[in-house]
Amino acid sequence: MIEMTPGPVRTAPTTPFRTQTGTMFPTMTPSLGGMTTPSPPRTPIPPPTPPTSLPETFPEFAPYLGQCRFVGCSHVKEKGCAVLQAVKDGRIPASRHRSYVRLYDELKDLRDWQHK
């Protein structure tokens, strides 16, 4: 038996699975080259995070959540946003906030059923 771990796997955005590992088994059929592998194990990819829960996935935002001027602040461009102020003051790296905004922009247009 030969253990194999695949390299990077390209997945289409519509597939809910990703490949993890595969195992080669010897066969008695020469036409198969003497080795075969069953379907690799697959695990579901978790559904996208709703945009309202996204700030909680950024640990550096935690001290500032709940301190914004407006309830339901998206932490993208609102006045009185504690997260934006922390970015401006250098307490949260600007690169992390850009990552957050990029993810927020992708998730904000998804319908509720797409988050489940």
**pLDDT per residue as tens digits for the range 18-67:** 555 556 666 666 565 665 555 555 666 566 677 778 898 899 999 999 99
Euclidean distance between CA atoms 46 and 15, whole angstroms: 11
* DSSP-derived 3-state class of residue 20: coil
Higher-confidence residue of 88 and 27: namely: 88
Residues 76, 106: Cα–Cα separation, whole Å: 13
Q: Kindly report whether the global pTM for this prediction surpasses the value 0.85.
A: no
**Is pLDDT above 80 for 73?**
yes
pLDDT at 59: 93
